[in-house]
Each structure stands twice: as structure tokens, then as C-alpha cells.
Amino acid sequence: MSETGVPTRLYIYCPQCDDDTLHEVVSVKGGQKAKGQAVEKNRTADIECKVLCLECEMTSIQTIAISKEIDLNVIISEGANSRASTIRVAEDDILHVEQELLIEDNPVMITGIETPQRRVQRAEAKTIKTLWVKEFEIVTLKISVSRAGRTKNYTMEMDPHNEVAIGDVLRIDEKKLQVDRIKTNKGKLAKEGSSEEAYRIRRAYCKELFDRPRYDRRRHRR
């Protein structure tokens, strides 16, 4: 996006997906390609755009509100490392923890919001001092497997929105691991069929499944 322009990609509601999904702005009213088309600085404007949902590939006409924009300081967590960046947002945007954003065309999720007074769960953009985010293109699912009093730990990378359910079988290094319990930030899930999206899971507890040896009748004939 330019300093005062229509974003090339943004999260908005998709009627086909019935959810807020990532869209690409194809064109704006008048037929011009949307590549950061300029809007008068410090002015709020409603712009009619043709957008493409990157999930279901449905196109639709939507009105995008372009408000006065500000730059927010952002700390991006990339695995074990972190770095500073900025993001341009509308000053009246309400941002919240676990919200998905695009920074440098990469999907991230907000993990913390710092205002001059304290850390909060949500805040208006113009009141925010620093945003803390993490990469969100893939997440690492932590897995523990216990057997005979010993515990082995594994990891598996997956889409953040993949649902993991009690009873699911995960395959790692030719091992078959059945999910027995799931630990989330809100507690534990143990009921058969209970599920949670991967990014919300702190750890999955599994048991290893073993194939039963095939019975060979010929070897047991007398």
C-alpha cells in the first residue's frame, strides 16, 4: 500500500466462506488497477472495489472504507528470533489479540498490544504504542507421546487453521500417533471428537499405534 492508498490485500468478509478471509483487490471503481491508488491524505473515503477471495476464489464488489492512517511500531516474532517493523493502519481501527494482519505481504497474528499505560487485549490503533505479532503462515504443533513411563516429544508444521481432534491419527517419521488429549490456553480437551484449531493448541498428547502382525496360517499348520 502507498502512504495513502487502497491496500492490495486485506482481510474482509467473504459471503461464500461466511468468514473474514484474505482478499486481493483486483480493481477500483472506474476500472483502474488497485496498486496503492492514492486517496487524499488525512481524509476518510469509501471506495468501491472488486475483490478476489484467496480461499474460495469468489469475486465480489465491496466498499472499503479508507481512513486517516498512522504507522504502528511492530515486533515480529520469527521462530526463535524477532525483529522490528511498522504497519500502516487506519487510526480508528480496533485491533485485538489473535487478530490476523498482513505485514510486508506476510500473514501474522497479534500476540500482544502495548499502550503507554499497560498491555491490553484490544485497543484503538491511535492509542497503541507497540504491536507484538508472530508469523502465521504455518504453526508448529507440539506433540508428546508417553509409553512405559517415558515421554518422547515431536513437532509437526501445519496450517494455523487446521483442526486437530481427539482421536485423530497423526503421522510422523512413519509413526502413527493418535491424539488422546489436547492442551489449549483455556484448558484441556479429552472428549472424543472435541477439536481445536492448530494455532490455539499448546500441546497434543498422543499414544503410538502399532500395526498388528499378520497371522500366517501356513506357518502354523502341523
For 61-97, what is each residue's pLDDT tens digit?
A: 988 877 778 899 999 998 778 999 999 888 888 899 9
> CA separation (Å) from 123 to 117, 137, 214?
12, 24, 61
Report if residue 222 sits inside a domain: no
Name the residue type at position 6.
V
* Structural domain boundaries, residue 131: 69-135
- Domain identity same for 125 and 176: no
Distance CA 24, CA 21 (A): 10
Query: The whole model's pTM is what?
Result: 0.55
Domain count of the fold of the chain: 3
Report if residue 81 sits inside a domain: yes
Most confident option among 16-20, 21-25, 161-165, 185-189: 161-165
Task: Answer with the one of 43, 66, 89 that is the final residue of a domain.
Answer: 66
